[in-house]
Amino acid sequence: MAHLDDISGRQCGVVSREQALQAGIGAETVRRHLRSGRWQRMIPGIYATFADRPPPGARRWAAVLHAGSGAMLCCRSAAEEAGLAAPGREAIHVLIPDTRRISPVRGLVAHRSRHAADRRDPLRLPPQTRVEETVLDLASTAGDPAEALHWISTACTRRLTTPSRLTTALSARPRLHRRGAMHTLLGAVARGYPAPLPDWPPLPHRWALR
């Protein structure tokens, strides 16, 4: 049981059924924990090893565990983990390789990309996109250029990244929506003074992270 405690401790108290079984917790013991209320089912096959309402961090871990191999938090969910956005109760966003599919779950939004592995932060847990990728995703899909500027300037002000690193990340994403407008905003932040907000082309009817 100590091994499973170690796992749940790293995952905000959340474990998958597979992790529990591999740690030597039998299927009947798992069912007993659920029946007694000691554990609770968050997503089929994903459990909180506590009885209280799962906090945002636990919900994000549950989403990543459900999404499986190669999955990571992205968009606002990654921003919350990185300290770029305040925790909320919005849907959890995950990025998965484009070769995979996951079963739909209420409150979980899955994005697919063939570049998913390249965008993962090598150190942060739960698995999540690098800060630069997170900022680009949020800014490029913002409702208006002022919101996009907010994400960029906030990330730089909090020293989570720099305009230079964001520009480098942008250069590696030639198909990113509103790429020209993003260059304009990054230039303004790098120079440290406001500039006229750029035109903001509408997103395609069926858009995806690029």
Q: Is 70 left (phi over 0), alpha (psi -120 to 50) or beta?
A: left
Backbone angles phi and psi of 63, in degrees to 5: -65, -45
pTM: 0.93
Which is more confident, 3 or 39? 39
- How do strand 92-97 and strand 108-113 relate by DSSP bridges? parallel
Q: Tell me what pLDDT residue 209 has.
A: 80
Half-sphere exposure of 9 (CA within 13 A, CB side): 6
Confidence of residue 83 (pLDDT cuts 50, 70, 90): very high
